[in-house]
């Protein structure tokens, strides 16, 4: 029951303010300690308990990941474009970094199965390539004009 | 003598067909139990990939989008990526169904009084699934993931039927006994 309340609280107060599913996924993954896999959120833990906060973060992370996993590629490209815009990074820099470092790999929930993870990585790689090509084509067209 | 043999074979085929139809009807009627069945399989780490994920992997809409938006180089890369994921799905599903069969043979069959009809149907489903998955591996490898969509749907259905049947047999077990079996199975899985 507490976990349900914590999930609602997290969705209404924090996640609702983050535009785009990709940004929400990155945010939720970042609340996790990479060494232990445990989630931590000071405000939520203060309001509920650490254990409840952890469970709520894990549930929302899983939900966000599942939503993106089942998103058609066309929508995923739009989500990615939205996220690039939100970060304020120069698109060329963003694509370079994401292709080299592959930070999207750490956005996968801990108990995710191999097939889902591989499918997600593959889709993000394709979305990145399409988005980058569109950016470059747009830039070239602007330069020609 | 040869006429008698033909009659016996035809009779056998008809009996198997009837059993198959009866089994399909039973499965449809008991689909309501699916959430519990899925939960049981999930705790044993034997659940199959969800149908929504399978539909997404083989969704033609993705190919339509890539082929209309991306240059040829990206189209080739996408097909290669999706083919690898599709092949992974076939291999993982086959492995999971194989483990389900293994679990059935090792644990469940010794504890549940099964009718021979159920055993025959399980064997037929399992052999059919193995045949389809072998065909699928070849088809996806040769012609890509989007040419195999009908067969994928069929393979997924047969796999789900098998998982449902195994899950239903598990659900009939005494919870205490099932708990012991789960612990034993998970310990053995971790060791192997």
- Does B77 touch chain A if contact means CB atoms closer than 8 Å? yes
- Does B25 touch chain A if contact means CB atoms closer than 8 Å? no
Nearest by CB to B53, from A69, A72, A133: name it. Answer: A69
Q: Encode pLDDT of A17-42 as tens digits.
A: 999 999 999 999 999 998 999 999 99
- Tell me whether residue B24 is in a domain: no
Q: How many domains does chain B have?
A: 1
Dihedrals phi, psi of A15, to nearest 5 degrees: -65, -35
- Tell me whether residue B104 is in a domain: yes
Q: Do B62 and A129 touch (CB under 8 A)?
A: no
Q: Which residue from A minimizes the CA distance to B85?
A: A119
Q: What is the mean pLDDT of residues B28-57?
A: 74
pLDDT higher than threshold 80 for residue B2: no
- Tell me whether residue B153 is in a domain: yes
Low-confidence residues of chain A: pLDDT under 50: none
- From chain B, pick out residues whose CB is under 8 angstroms from the CB of A122: 81-82, 84-85
| Domain span at B117 | 33-191
Please calculate the CA angle A130-A131-A134 and round it to the nearest 5 degrees: 85
Please calculate the CA angle B166-B170-B176 and round it to the nearest 5 degrees: 160
- From chain B, pick out residues whose CB is under 8 angstroms from the CB of A125: 81
Nearest by CB to A133, from B59, B70, B85: name it. Answer: B70
Q: What does the alpha-carbon distance between residue A143 and residue A107 come to, in Å, rounded to a whole number? A: 36
| Residues B38-65: b if buried by 16+ CB within 10 A, e if exposed | bebbeebebbbbeeebbebbbbeebbeb
Do B82 and B147 form a contact (C-beta atoms < 8 A)?
no
Q: What is the pLDDT of residue B29?
A: 47
> Which residue's structure tokens are 């990155």?
A26
Q: Do B65 and A129 touch (CB under 8 A)?
A: no
Q: What does the alpha-carbon distance between residue B144 and residue B61 come to, in Å, rounded to a whole number? A: 15
Q: Encode pLDDT of B108-167 as tens digits.
A: 666 666 677 877 888 888 998 999 999 999 999 999 999 988 899 989 988 888 888 887
Q: Encode pLDDT of B64-123 as tens digits.
A: 999 998 899 999 999 999 999 999 999 999 999 998 888 887 766 666 666 778 778 888
Q: What does the alpha-carbon distance between residue B185 and residue B167 come to, in Å, rounded to a whole number? A: 15
- Does B81 touch chain A if contact means CB atoms closer than 8 Å? yes
For residue B107, the 8-state DSSP code is I
- Tell me whether residue B21 is in a domain: no
Do B96 and B155 form a contact (C-beta atoms < 8 A)?
no
């Amino acid at each position: 029951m507490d976990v349900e309340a914590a999930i609602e609280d997290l969705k209404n107060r924090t996640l609702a303010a983050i535009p785009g599913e990709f940004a929400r996924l990155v945010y939720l993954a970042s609340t996790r300690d990479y060494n232990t896999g445990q989630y931590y959120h000071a405000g939520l833990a203060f309001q509920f308990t650490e254990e409840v906060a952890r469970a709520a973060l894990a549930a929302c992370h899983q939900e966000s990941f599942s939503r993106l996993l089942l998103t058609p590629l066309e929508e995923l490209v739009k989500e990615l474009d939205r996220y690039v815009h939100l970060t304020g990074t120069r698109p060329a820099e963003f694509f370079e970094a994401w292709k080299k470092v592959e930070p999207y790999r750490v956005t996968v929930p801990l108990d995710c199965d191999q097939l889902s993870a591989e499918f997600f990585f593959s889709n993000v790689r394709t979305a990145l390539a399409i988005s980058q090509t569109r950016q470059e084509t747009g830039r070239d067209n602007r330069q020609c004009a | 003598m040869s006429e008698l043999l033909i009659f016996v074979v035809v009779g056998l085929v008809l009996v198997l067909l009837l059993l198959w139809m009866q089994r399909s009807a039973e499965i449809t009627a008991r689909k309501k139990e699916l959430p519990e069945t899925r939960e049981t399989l999930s705790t044993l780490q034997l659940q199959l990939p969800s149908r929504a994920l399978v539909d997404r992997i083989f969704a033609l809409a993705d190919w339509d989008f890539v082929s209309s938006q991306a240059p040829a180089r990206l189209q080739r890369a996408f097909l290669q990526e999706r083919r690898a994921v599709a092949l992974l799905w076939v291999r993982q599903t086959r492995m999971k169904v194989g483990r389900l069969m293994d679990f059935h043979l090792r644990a469940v069959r010794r504890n549940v009084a099964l009718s021979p009809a159920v055993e025959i149907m399980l064997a037929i489903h399992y052999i059919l699934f193995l045949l389809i998955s072998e065909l699928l591996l070849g088809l996806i490898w040769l012609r890509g993931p989007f040419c195999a969509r009908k067969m994928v749907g069929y393979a997924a259905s047969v796999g789900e039927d098998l998982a449902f049947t195994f899950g239903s047999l598990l659900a009939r077990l005494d919870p205490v006994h099932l708990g012991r079996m789960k612990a034993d199975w998970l310990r053995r899985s971790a060791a192997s």
